[in-house]
Structure 1
Amino acid sequence: MQEEPGILSAGSSLRRRLSERLLLIGPVLVLAIEVSGESGIVEIFNGGREFGYLFLWVFAVALVYKFAFAYGIARYTLATGRTIFSGLRSIPGPRNWEVTFITAIYTLEMAAFGGFILISARFLTLLLPLAVPLPAVALLTLAGILLILWKGSYERIERVILGVVIILFLGLVVSISALDIPLLEVAGGLVPVLDDHHLVDIMVLLGAVSGGLNLLLYSVWLREKTGGKPCTDDLPEKMRGVRTDLVIGFA
């Protein structure tokens, strides 16, 4: 009977440490879904269909780069309480140069968003029991996204993303369990191969799966989660939590 308070105290302490360590998991999950949903999964399908496991190492390099980049952005945001976009304004140059630069890139990316919506709509039509025209599904998908962004707060979007993560995880587990994966070919694909005939393909894959301004948006979501307060006293502890969250998110 005397050990029960100690056991309860240890359990409470463990739950508190776990909740503190996973406090910032939400922005990481939003980042992971946004990055993979925008082009990552599509590029994996296309690359796997054309090259098999030959360029699997490209995706591994992209994951390492994304981890390092997101970790640096998280350190800046947590230490200063500012987003990386605010930090760019401190770089000398023409007035509001960073706004013009980022707007130009997003304008170019918007040209691809229509294609992403059509791809997602094509997959959704396969799940619907009725024959629904592809443009109608695409428009309904776009309307749903706009409604969530317009009416939802960051906390609500984070809960939606958590549900999407669970569905994707279960779907991947079922899909992988139904496949006969050649482990030797997978291991061989993790060895970098630089062939002159495939340099353009490698550059395209690297640009598609490792680039994008979505990595910068992680700073915005992180600031929303922390309320914009600089972590001056517990920055090392927060960064340990960020490392754990990034590993979970990118895994």
Structure 2
Amino acid sequence: MKNEIEVKNGGQPGQTYKGPSTIKEKLSNVGPGLAVAATGVGTADMITAIVLGTSFGMTFVWAIIVGSVLKYFLNEGVGRWYLATGKTILEGWRSLGRWATGYFSTYSIIWGFVYGAAAASTCGMAMEAMFPIMPIWGWAIVHSVIGFLLVFTGRYLLFEKIMTALIAIMFITIIGTALLFLPSLGEFAGGFVPKVPEGSFMMALGLIGGVGGTITMASYGYWLKEKNWQGSRWISTMRTDSKVAYTVTAIFTMASLIIGAKFLFGTGITISGDQGLVTLAQMLGDEFGAPLRWLFLIAFWSAAFSSLLGVWNGVPYLFADFIRILKARKNKAYEAKAVEETDPAYRFYLAWLSFPPLLLLFFGKPVQLIIIYGALGALFMPFLAISLVVLLNSKKVAAEYRNKWVANSVLIGCVIMFVFLAITHLMETF
């Protein structure tokens, strides 16, 4: 088995493979981080950046950079935990106590049910704006089923190729749109100086906290495993993978800010919700012609569908791992069992994301369920940040791979920011 892994990773039988060493080799292996970033950068980030650009111009360039740096350290922490210990993030949470996996199990069931409907309907909204041959709910069902079928095949490399293609589409279309509105060098440079105009503090924190961050960050270790990245020799490559991912994230979000700042700033027009992106696409079409309307709608759709597909593939790993850990209490054989896309628990949760939530498209979203979903969701990112601070400073990780002062400082900063956002969200909810 050892030799088999060495050969897959580029080594020869009987030799210890040290992992990619040159920047070219590392870049050629980039993939899992892009899947995380594409999943995390959804329409919500587009809307937040466009709204901030519309209201405050190029003021919040600095917030996008800060948000991308923070998410890099979170993502890198998840990857480093897996590669340095060989344990999944669920096993790490389990070591913190049963409360941690108990929280996750409750969160994942409720979150999956509500998110499944939201993600599918967002895809449907984008597609209906381009091809109004079916209502939004019809397109939502189509996207949910396609996502299910693509992931059900259990072929990670196919998933990664599709996600890479969606990222390319997102990048080309949103950058192509933003190129029409490039700010001057002075305007852009001014945005690097941290400023928080009156009335913008919570929006700025929302942008920092939202740039490329979702529950799928916790799926990163499973995607590394699917790529056969195993052991500390892959940590350097994993860091390159994460840096590329969050550089792309920053550029994409920056392009959205530019569109808001240069096209809508000072007009008094407000954009909100996914429907606001459809409205903005129409405005771009009226001003610059139908091709630009299509370009922006394609960017909207690719952001929505990449988020759906990433969640459909990534979060079932977490649920299946949770079931594996429960079984391991009674049968030690499950402790060494790897989670795979063909596991019954994986496919159960994939189906849970894909089909039951579609009922919400017809019957509306129950108020109490939405309140619980919002409360649990607000707590997930601080939960992830706190757990990484604890785990990556513990003796479970070899001394050379534990957090250094920079990582600790950034992660503690993440904890403070996410706890503040969570408290604010919970106060507004209740």
**Alpha-carbon distance in 2 for matches of 1:132, 1:183:** 44
Partner SS for 2:200: helix
Map Cα deviations across residues 88-115 of structure 1 (whole Å, 9 max, x no partner): 2222x3x3x2222123333347534533
Map Cα deviations across residues 183-233 of structure 1 (whole Å, 9 max, x no partner): 333322232224563333233333333643221111221122226x434xx
- Give the corresponding residue for 1:186: 188
Q: Does 1:43 align with 2:43?
A: no
CA 1:38 to 1:123, structure 2 compared with 1: closer, same or farther past 3 Å? Answer: closer
- TM-score normalised per structure 1: 0.77
What's the offset of the Cα at 1:63?
0.4
Q: Does 1:79 align with 2:75?
A: no
Alignment of 1:194-205 (within 5 A): 194-195=196-197, 197-205=199-207
Give the stretch that moved more between structures: 49-58 or 163-172: 49-58
Contact 1:31 1:215 in 2 (8 A): yes
Contact 2:79 2:221 in 1 (8 A): yes
What's the offset of the Cα at 1:33?
0.6
- Give the corresponding residue for 2:130: 127
Contact 1:81 1:223 in 2 (8 A): no
- TM-score normalised per structure 2: 0.47
**Alpha-carbon distance in 1 for matches of 2:106, 2:205:** 22
AA partner of residue 114 (structure 2): A
Select the structure with the greater relative contact order (CA < 8 A; seq sep ≥ 6).
Answer: 1
AA partner of residue 215 (structure 2): L
CA 1:32 to 1:213, structure 2 compared with 1: closer, same or farther past 3 Å? Answer: same
- Give the corresponding residue for 1:137: 139
Specify every segment of 5 or more residues in structure 2 that has no aligned partner in the other structure, as ranges: 1-19, 248-430
CA 1:125 to 1:34, structure 2 compared with 1: closer, same or farther past 3 Å? Answer: same
Alignment of 1:64-103 (within 5 A): 64-91=69-96, 93=97, 95=98, 97-103=99-105
CA 1:185 to 1:120, structure 2 compared with 1: closer, same or farther past 3 Å? Answer: farther
Contact 1:83 1:219 in 2 (8 A): yes
Contact 1:24 1:222 in 2 (8 A): no
Contact 1:29 1:249 in 2 (8 A): yes
- Give the corresponding residue for 1:8: none
CA 1:143 to 1:51, structure 2 compared with 1: closer, same or farther past 3 Å? Answer: farther
- Give the corresponding residue for 1:114: 117
Contact 2:41 2:213 in 1 (8 A): no
**Alpha-carbon distance in 1 for matches of 2:21, 2:72:** 26
RMSD of aligned residue pairs (Cα, Å): 2.8
- Give the corresponding residue for 2:371: none
AA partner of residue 94 (structure 2): R
Q: Percent identity?
A: 25
Partner SS for 1:181: coil
- Give the corresponding residue for 1:34: 39
Specify every segment of 5 or more residues in structure 1 that has no aligned partner in the other structure, as ranges: 1-14
**Alpha-carbon distance in 1 for matches of 2:21, 2:239:** 18
Contact 1:148 1:157 in 2 (8 A): yes
Map Cα deviations across residues 53-80 of structure 1 (whole Å, 9 max, x no partner): 2333222111000111212222221122
* Number of equivalenced pairs: 227
What's the offset of the Cα at 1:249?
1.6
Contact 2:83 2:231 in 1 (8 A): yes
Q: Does 1:244 align with 2:240?
A: yes
CA 1:180 to 1:208, structure 2 compared with 1: closer, same or farther past 3 Å? Answer: closer
**Alpha-carbon distance in 1 for matches of 2:94, 2:86:** 15
**Alpha-carbon distance in 1 for matches of 2:128, 2:88:** 38
Give the stretch that moved more between structures: 217-226 or 102-111: 102-111
CA 1:205 to 1:160, structure 2 compared with 1: closer, same or farther past 3 Å? Answer: same
Map Cα deviations across residues 14-44 of structure 1 (whole Å, 9 max, x no partner): x994664136411111111111136333432
Contact 2:84 2:231 in 1 (8 A): yes
**Alpha-carbon distance in 2 for matches of 1:119, 1:49:** 22
